Structure 1
Amino acid sequence: MKKIMAVAAALIISFSAFAQIENPVKWAYAAKRTSATEATVFIKASIENGWHIYSQFIEEGGPIKTSFTFEPSKNYALVGKTIEPKAIAKFDKQFKMNIGFFENEVVFQQKVKLKAAGATTVKGKLEFMVCNDKKCLPPTEVEFVAPVPAK
């Protein structure tokens, strides 16, 4: 009985060592002052070949769109909405609609009005869903911090 339990434990450990969590999107964050009172936050997704993430502008009934939530701060205020480059648009048979998405790399941008001359940080979280031609991974939420340098 002890041998069976030892073999079972060894198999479980072996299988869990080979199981990998898929993470086909890597995120990077930066900010650049564009004037004494404004900055732009850059949120970059590097997407593994064969995978894609969705635009912020997906109609109801489609996949989970990429979305951004910024923490309120006394040091800055958002200027407008988060912008994105032109997405690839294709008809999706599963959702029966045109869907915008990004492959390889995409940079989202958010302008902020700075309320102080010194350095600050823009904090928030983003939610996205990543898919390939065979499957989609569950939606993921990621927290981010983008340091804004002093002028």
Structure 2
Amino acid sequence: MKTIITLLFISILTITQSKAQILHPVTWSYAAKKTSPTEAVVLLKATIEKGWHIYSQNVKEGGPVATTFTFAPSKEFSLVGKTAEPKPLTRMEKVFAMEVSYFENAAIFQQKIRLKKGQTTVAGKLSFMTCNDEKCLPPDDVEFSIPVK
């Protein structure tokens, strides 16, 4: 019995330790604001821990994974143009042997929509890759659902 309890304790400790090592240097938050009765802007904000960065939507082939936004089709709204991003920083990254555009600290992406009804929910998925000066984490996909009232 003592052996079973010891093994159980070691298993729980191992699981706890492995979960503590998973890095999540980027968190996402969402909002929407109506600009008129028939238009709104959906805001997708990345908050990035110090020392980390995510990449622009505009990355050349052979570079890191670009940040992308995929919006679920809806009969209640239509997208107006492409998702806008703030002005990124640009630097040469040895790992990719090219100049890349990226964001540090925070970045707010904006998507204009045309409403067909007064209220809706904008759903979709975003994909991004985050790196620091030592390593890159695998690309991550995050689903979102943003009410527009």
What amino acid sits opposite 1:82 in the alignment? T
Q: 1:9 offset after TM fit, Å?
A: 4.1
Q: Distance in 2 between matches of 1:61 and 1:113?
A: 35
Q: Distance in 1 between matches of 2:100 and 2:3?
A: 52
Larger deviation: 58-67 or 13-22? Answer: 13-22
* Post-superposition CA distance 1:110-143 (Å, at most 9, x none): 0001112x21111111000111111111111111
- Alignment coverage as a number of residue pairs: 147
Q: Distance in 1 between matches of 2:137 and 2:94?
A: 18
What amino acid sits opposite 2:46 in the alignment? A
SS at match of 1:32: strand
* Post-superposition CA distance 1:71-111 (Å, at most 9, x none): 11011000000010110100001111000111110000000
**Is 1:128 paired with 2:128?**
yes
> Which residue does the alignment assign to 1:137?
137
Q: Distance in 1 between matches of 2:5 and 2:92?
A: 52
Q: Distance in 2 between matches of 1:3 and 1:99?
A: 56
For structure 1, the residue ranges without an aligned partner over 5 or more in a row are none
Q: Distance in 1 between matches of 2:15 and 2:28?
A: 26
**Is 1:41 paired with 2:42?**
yes
Q: Distance in 2 between matches of 1:52 and 1:59?
A: 17
> Which residue does the alignment assign to 2:146?
146
Superposition RMSD in Å: 1.5
Name the TM-score, length of structure 1 as normaliser.
0.91
After TM superposition, the structure 1 = structure 2 runs for residues 71-82 of structure 1, keeping only pairs within 5 Å, are 71-82=72-83
After TM superposition, the structure 1 = structure 2 runs for residues 79-118 of structure 1, keeping only pairs within 5 Å, are 79-116=80-117, 118=118
What amino acid sits opposite 2:14 in the alignment? F
What amino acid sits opposite 1:98 in the alignment? E
What amino acid sits opposite 1:65 in the alignment? A
For structure 2, the residue ranges without an aligned partner over 5 or more in a row are none
> Which residue does the alignment assign to 1:59?
60
Over the matched positions of the two proteins, sequence identity in percent amounts to 54
Q: 1:37 offset after TM fit, Å?
A: 1.2
Larger deviation: 104-113 or 132-141? Answer: 132-141
